[in-house]
Amino acid sequence: MSERFGVYIHIPYCLQRCTYCDFATYVHTEIKPPEYYVSLVKKEIFNKRNLFPQRELDTIYFGGGTPSLIPAHLIVELISELAKFGYTTGPQTEITIEINPATVDEKKLETYLKAGVNRFSVGAQSFSDRLLKMVHREHNAQQTVQTLELLRKYNLNFSFDVLFALPTQSLDELKYDVQVAVELGSKHISPYCLTVPEGHPLSKNRPLDDEQIEMFNVIHTELSKKDFLRYEISNYALKGYESKHNMLYWTDQEYWGLGLSAHSYTKKSSWGSRFWNVNSFDLYGKQMDAENTLQNIAAHNAQQIEHLDKHQALTDFCYTSLRLGAGLSVDKLGEKFGTTTLDLINKIAQPMLDKNLMSLVNNHYVLTNNGVVISNQIFEKFAFLKEDLATL
Ligand SMILES: C[S@@+](CC[C@H](N)C(=O)[O-])C[C@H]1O[C@@H](n2cnc3c(N)ncnc32)[C@H](O)[C@@H]1O
Ligand code: SF4
């Protein structure tokens, strides 16, 4: 398959700060207005326009935060700005926007559609008002359903985020959430297990480890019954509805992240480089004002760029590929890292094959259901230090 390329644009405005959320976002009334923020992102496009080859984009992803909270014309302006500098879109481009329930009306939706937005990721989280309230979401289940009715009226492609393992959440409540998500016509579902640090108010009364494993199993069983495939550890889709954008991250493709906290990956240096933007709104503004030459960008970004060594590239490759339903391609790994590295991977994989934590399918290492449950422990075995590869 040819190389693919996409752009992520971070929109850091939210109605409220959900207590469990660690993303770089602000309550919309507490920072400068979105018009100003979008002007900064436009500067960033201009400043960094030569870092990636101009081409038709495979994907654009507006993530957040709550991109649907800002005026829709600003989303359109960003798509146009990219096109102005050669990052064009066409009928094949997947353009996703994250929307929160009750932040989109018909007019907004039509503006998105005219600009080519063709995928909607809905932050439903749960269909239980009790649980939504508990995690301090502004919307209720009825508002989620209304948002979906709107999307269905236009026959649109949408995905749901479902949050689970919430304090006091029962298996039946989770089963209900998954069933409703499917019944409402979602073709893609991302179940996220709540992650909060110890001592966080939401860390109390959560399902125990065994119960959480049960929850993973309930999700898998319910979605499998409806022909959803787990194409990535936290993502299920009907065939053909996988997120093309997220697939870029998991298949070693280049991507350009614009806006606050956004991350990019380029293969220009020998093992590739990652670079990223700061989390602070004020500092991002200052950097974008100053970064008007490529030299400035390099100087500024000294703290915000990492040229990967082989061991880091290998760790990334294994981690992202093993998350995929299709698994880690033995051929691709050998092609990119060489046969001696492949021998090392085969040696590490063997005990996991023996324990039925992984299987070899079409020459790909794939996590089994048992493996998925303890995936973090498996990923650790494929995390490499420089010295691990020194003798190869
Ligand atoms: C950054 S949010 C953006 C989407 C949208 N603003 C929303 O909240 O619905 C993307 C997804 O990350 C998930 N998420 C955020 N914080 C999380 C946490 N602490 N643990 C698990 N999932 C989390 C939520 O399910 C959310 O839908
Ligand atoms: S609405 Fe979404 S992005 Fe905003 S704080 Fe809540 S979880 Fe985070």
The set of long-range contacts for 367-370, using a CB threshold of 8 Å and a minimum separation of 24, is 367/233, 367/322, 367/327, 369/217, 369/220
Ligand 2 site residues (CB inside 6 A) read 14, 17-18, 21, 23, 25, 64-66, 100, 123
Residue where the block lists tokens 């049960």: 214
Tokens 């996590």 — which residue?
367
Using most ligand atoms within 8 A of CB, pick from 10, 11, 13, 14 the residue to mutate for ligand 2: 14
Residue 70 φ/ψ, nearest 5 degrees: -85, 160
> Residue 3 has what pLDDT?
93
Tokens representing residue 200 in the block: 């966080």
Judged by DSSP in three states, 19 sits in coil
Helix and strand counts by DSSP (H, E) for the chain: 16, 17
- Alpha-carbon distance values, 5 to 173, 259, 276, 313 (Å): 39, 17, 17, 18
| Distance (Å) of CA 44 to CA 167, 287, 290, 292, 343 | 41, 9, 10, 9, 43
Ligand 2 center to 142 CA (angstroms): 19
Among 382, 387, 242, 392, which residue's Cα sits nearest to residue 316? 382
Q: How far apart (Å, rounded) are the C-alpha atoms in residues 158 and 222?
A: 19
195 lines ligand 1 (CB under 6 A): yes
Nearby residues of 101 by Cβ (< 8 Å), 6 or more positions away: 122, 123, 124, 139, 143, 144, 146, 147
Closest residue by CA, ligand 2 atom 2: 65
| Residue 373 neighbours by CB under 8 Å, 6+ apart | 213, 216
Q: What is the best residue among 10, 23, 27, 97 to mutate for testing ligand 1's pocket, by most ligand atoms within 8 Å of CB?
A: 23
Contacting residues for 121 by C-beta, under 8 A, at least 6 apart: 96, 97, 98, 99, 158, 159, 160, 161, 188, 190
Cβ atoms of residues 370 and 383 within 8 Å: no
- Cα 240 from Cα 332, distance rounded (Å): 23
Beta bridge partners of 322: none
Which residue type, as a one-letter code, is found at position 357? L
Domains and CATH numbers, the chain: 5-248 (3.20.20.70), 310-390 (1.10.10)
Closest by CA to 265, choosing from 247, 253, 277, is 253
Express the helix, strand and coil content of the chain in percent, nearest 5 each: 45, 20, 35
pLDDT under 70 in the chain at which residues? 1, 291-302
- What burial letters (b/e) apply to 76-114, b meaning 16+ CB within 10 Å? bbbbebbeeeebebeeebbbbbbbbbbbbeeebbeebee
Q: Best mutation site among 62, 166, 192 for ligand 1, i.e. most ligand atoms within 8 A of its Cβ?
A: 192
**Predicted pLDDT of residue 183:** 94
Distance CA 275, CA 249 (A): 14
Cα Rg of the chain (Å, integer) = 21
Q: Report the separation in Å between the CA atom of 4 and the middle of ligand 1, taken as the mean of its atom positions.
A: 26
